[in-house]
Structure 1
Amino acid sequence: MADKRAISTSGAPQNDNPYSQGVLADGFLFVSGFGPVDPETGEDVDGDVRAQTHRVMDNLAAVVREAGGSLDDLVKVTVYVTDMDDYDAVNEAYAEHVGDTPPARVCIEAARLPDDVRVEIDAVAKVA
């Protein structure tokens, strides 16, 4: 059985759904998908898809930091967008967060995301 523990931080949105913000297992951190929710207000951020992407990346970063890592530790990311026409704008904002060695990634157009946000991202990081 893998050494496994939940990771939780007030720096990322909280909810009452049955999942963890992140799970650390044998040095790998699996971060749940986050939309552009401000963790202080619980509300979606205003603004275009770039602003939403920045908030999503900040939410992911908070969970990774809580586990002892940084966004430089990301090894795999999945980006979900509701409109592939947003791809370039999401990439521009995303690139500001991932550094010189970006993680492996896939981008998927989803018919709909929770709360009708335009972008959601989940991640895997190697933190230990």
Structure 2
Amino acid sequence: MSQQDTTFNADNAPKPVGLYPHARQVGNLLFLSGVGPRKAGTKKIPGVELDEDGKIISYDIEAQCHSVFQNVRAILEASNASWMDLIDVTVFLTNMDDDFATYNRVYAEYFADNQPCRTTVEINKLPTPIAIELKCIAALSSNS
């Protein structure tokens, strides 16, 4: 029995930084590649100030949280899915001590109606100068 296997890319989400799609559907599961807060069509990262060498001088985790959640929503919609289809979210933060409380508050605003499983981990670094990245899985209904 073969399963549906389709890839998706969203025009209104930032382009992947490597050779991978924004999302891949296998059967009724939709797997999103890591999603960061970069704005679509630019290299701009909301709330981030960089020096001339591209190193982070300062950043606003709240602005990055709002942006990454909006990017996830854009990818879901381009993949014929919705926010309510999310069942699992893995969150990578680069500074748990300083950023967790703000991230957790903003997360609660976006996930008040849908409460997927969640794992939050601190990592040393992400591939671009961002402080948060999400890895998500959605379960699609036959109506999606």
- TM-score, normalised by the number of residues in structure 1: 0.92
Listed one character per residue, the Cα deviations across residues 51-72 of structure 1 (whole Å, up to 9, x for unaligned) are 1011001111111111222111
Which of 95, 100, 104 is 1:87 aligned to?
100
Range that drifts further, 74-83 or 47-56 = 47-56
Task: Give the RMSD, CA atoms, in angstroms.
Answer: 1.4
Q: Give 1:39 shift.
A: 0.4
Q: Distance in 2 between matches of 1:53 and 1:82?
A: 13
> Is the CA contact (8 Å cut-off) linking 1:72 and 1:99 kept in structure 2?
no
Contact 2:86 2:114 in 1 (8 A): no
Task: After the TM superposition, list the runs of 4 or more consecutive aligned residues in structure 1 that deviate by more than 2 angstroms.
Answer: none
Count of aligned pairs: 128
Structure with max Cα Rg: 2
The Cα shift of 1:114 comes to 1.7
Residue 122 of structure 2: which of 109, 114, 117 is its match? 109
Is residue 90–residue 136 contact of structure 2 (8 Å, CA) maintained in 1?
yes
Quote the sequence identity (%): 30
Residues 77 and 104, structure 1, Cα contact 8 Å, conserved in 2 = yes
The corresponding residue for 1:122 is: 135
Separation in 2 of the partners of 1:112 and 1:15?
17
What residue is the counterpart of 2:51 in the other structure? none
Question: More helix by proportion, 1 or 2?
Answer: 1
Query: Per-residue displacement from partner, 1:97-124 (whole Å, max 9, x unpaired)?
Result: 1232310010010010122211111100
**Residue 30 (structure 2) aligns with:** 29
SS at match of 1:78: strand
Q: In 2 relative to 1, CA 27–81 (structure 1 residues): closer, same or farther, beyond 3 Å?
A: same
> TM-score with structure 2 length normalisation?
0.82
Deviation at 1:16, TM superposition (A): 5.4
Match of 2:55 in 1: none
CA distance in 2, matches of 1:69, 1:22: 11
